[in-house]
């Protein structure tokens, strides 16, 4: 095995873009900071190949699964039952970890992986002396619902006995698990708030053709992956259909996971509106945010980071099902003066949205917030990673840390 430092990242990616984009941002920042580091991402995302990766970052695509509305999982493409698919995923994950032999293993969001698929890998790497880290977005869900989920999945023993560190990609001003979740005291000394993950404009040009983008300043309307963004797109389109005098054009980004028939119907509606442009997907999404004069979004973690990074006026229309994390994040960010929030009342009156769109570009976030401190996540992660990357006796390093704890 090469003596180069190695980081393995696991991202279950049952649906959407959030987990993959977060892990990719972390990986890119770390290889820029540490030239001796190689990073391998384990991902179930069906579109991971649509993204470009920096040198020394690569990925292993594990068979995809999707979560149904009833909460059950099913294979994305293979004609296998879910148990067979999960067994295959677990085997690929463990075999990859055995051969790659990482100095540090970073697990995104799911402490035991999808349906427990990384538990055996965690135990194997623990025996090898690998540093084990769980990375959590700022808000996971309503505290009571998250507590129920973690009890059902029996994750607390892993948090206590397997993981060496738990990183929260946010700040306690938005959500503090130590105060809001029960049973966290035994692992309090493992937890660290990193701050949010700053995003920058990529050097490469956007994937979208220039003739698909508005030539004048625009409002960017994004649904993230798009799997649950149909109501937002419909509401914005209704506003432009109702009010032809809206002062700024809109660029709608549907997302690659939006239902194909609904997406086509939205494209047809947008084509009939002079002030509305629409695309399905943009891998270099940061460039679209940078060019926008305001952002309308559901408020997922990555979009929130981009809004903060580029200082854009933002209107958040959060979803409330199946998780309430977007609503929690949006309300607390609104209280800090970082975003505006428009609740989806189910009626979605076009005039209501039109009024918000008309005034959004002139709204300004709270100037008293220190964004450099708020967006220090990537640098904080690099600092926490550094002691575990040099070639060293990993068993001795872990033992030394336990003795000084």
CATH number of the structural domain 210-368 = 3.40.50.2000
Give the residue among 181, 194, 106 at the shortest CA–CA distance from 140.
181
pLDDT in tens, 145-189: 999 999 999 999 999 999 999 999 999 999 999 899 988 999 999
Domain boundaries, the chain: 5-197+376-404, 210-368
Q: Map residue 283 onto helix, strand or coil.
A: coil
* The pLDDT value given to residue 357: 98
Round to the nearest angstrom and report the end-to-end CA distance of the chain: 31
Residue 138: CA count within 13 A, CB half-sphere: 28
Q: What is the DSSP annotation of 129-153?
A: T-EEEEEEES--S-HHHHHHHHHHH
Residues linked to residue 59 through DSSP beta bridges, in sequence order: 41
Q: How does 238-271 read in b/e, with b if 16+ C-beta sit within 10 Å? A: bbbeebeebebbbbbbbbbbbeeeebeebeebbe
Handedness of CA 280, 286, 290, 295 (dihedral sign): positive
DSSP 8-class letter at 50: G
Residue 390 CA to residue 386 CA, distance in Å, equals: 8
Neighbours of 36 (CB within 10 A): 14
* The pLDDT value given to residue 404: 41
* The pLDDT value given to residue 71: 57
* The pLDDT value given to residue 129: 95
pLDDT in tens, 178-229: 899 988 999 999 999 999 999 999 877 666 656 678 889 999 999 988 888 9
pTM value is 0.90
* The pLDDT value given to residue 368: 92
* The pLDDT value given to residue 135: 97
Q: Which CATH superfamily is domain 5-197+376-404 in?
A: Glycogen Phosphorylase B; (3.40.50.2000)
CATH fold match for the domains 5-197+376-404 and 210-368: yes
Residues of the chain with pLDDT under 50: 1, 392-394, 396-397, 400-401, 403-405
* The pLDDT value given to residue 70: 55
Neighbours of 73 (CB within 10 A): 16
Residues linked to residue 7 through DSSP beta bridges, in sequence order: 39, 104
């Amino acid at each position: 095995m090469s003596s180069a430092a190695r980081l393995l990242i696991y991202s279950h990616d049952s649906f959407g873009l959030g987990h993959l984009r977060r892990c990719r941002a972390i990986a890119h920042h770390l290889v820029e900071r540490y030239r001796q580091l190689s990073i391998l991402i384990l991902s179930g995302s069906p579109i991971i190949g649509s993204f470009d990766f920096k040198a020394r970052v690569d990925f292993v695509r594990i068979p995809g699964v999707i979560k149904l509305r009833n909460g059950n999982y099913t294979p994305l493409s293979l004609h296998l039952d879910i148990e067979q698919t999960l067994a295959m995923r677990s085997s690929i994950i463990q075999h990859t970890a055995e051969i790659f032999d990482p100095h540090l293993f970073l697990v995104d969001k799911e402490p035991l992986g999808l349906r427990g698929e990384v538990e055996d890998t965690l135990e194997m790497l623990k025996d090898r002396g690998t540093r084990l880290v769980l990375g959590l977005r700022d808000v996971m869900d309503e505290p009571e619902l998250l507590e129920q989920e973690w009890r059902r999945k029996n994750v607390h023993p892993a948090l206590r006995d397997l993981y060496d560190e738990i990183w929260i990609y946010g700040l306690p001003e938005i959500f503090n698990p130590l105060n809001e979740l029960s049973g966290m005291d035994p692992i309090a000394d493992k937890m660290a708030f990193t701050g949010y993950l700053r995003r920058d404009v990529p050097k490469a040009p956007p994937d979208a053709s220039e003739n698909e983008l508005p030539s004048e300043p625009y409002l960017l309307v994004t649904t993230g992956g798009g799997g649950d963004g149909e109501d937002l797109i419909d509401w914005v389109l209704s506003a432009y259909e109702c009010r032809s005098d809206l002062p700024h054009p809109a660029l709608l980004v549907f997302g690659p996971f939006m239902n194909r028939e609904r997406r086509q119907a939205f494209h047809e509606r947008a084509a009939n509106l002079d002030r509305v442009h629409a695309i399905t997907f943009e891998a270099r999404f940061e460039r679209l945010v940078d060019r926008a004069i305001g952002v309308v979004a559901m408020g997922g973690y990555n979009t929130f980071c981009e809004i903060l990074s580029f200082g854009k006026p933002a209107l958040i229309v959060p979803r409330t099902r199946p998780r309430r994390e977007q609503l929690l994040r949006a309300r607390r960010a609104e209280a800090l003066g970082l975003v505006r929030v428009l609740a989806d009342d189910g009626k979605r009156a076009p005039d209501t949205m039109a009024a918000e769109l008309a005034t959004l570009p002139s709204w300004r976030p709270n100037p008293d917030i220190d964004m450099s401190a708020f967006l220090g996540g990537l640098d904080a992660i690099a600092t926490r990673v550094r002691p575990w990357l040099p070639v060293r006796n990993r068993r001795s390093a872990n033992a030394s840390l336990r003795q000084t704890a």
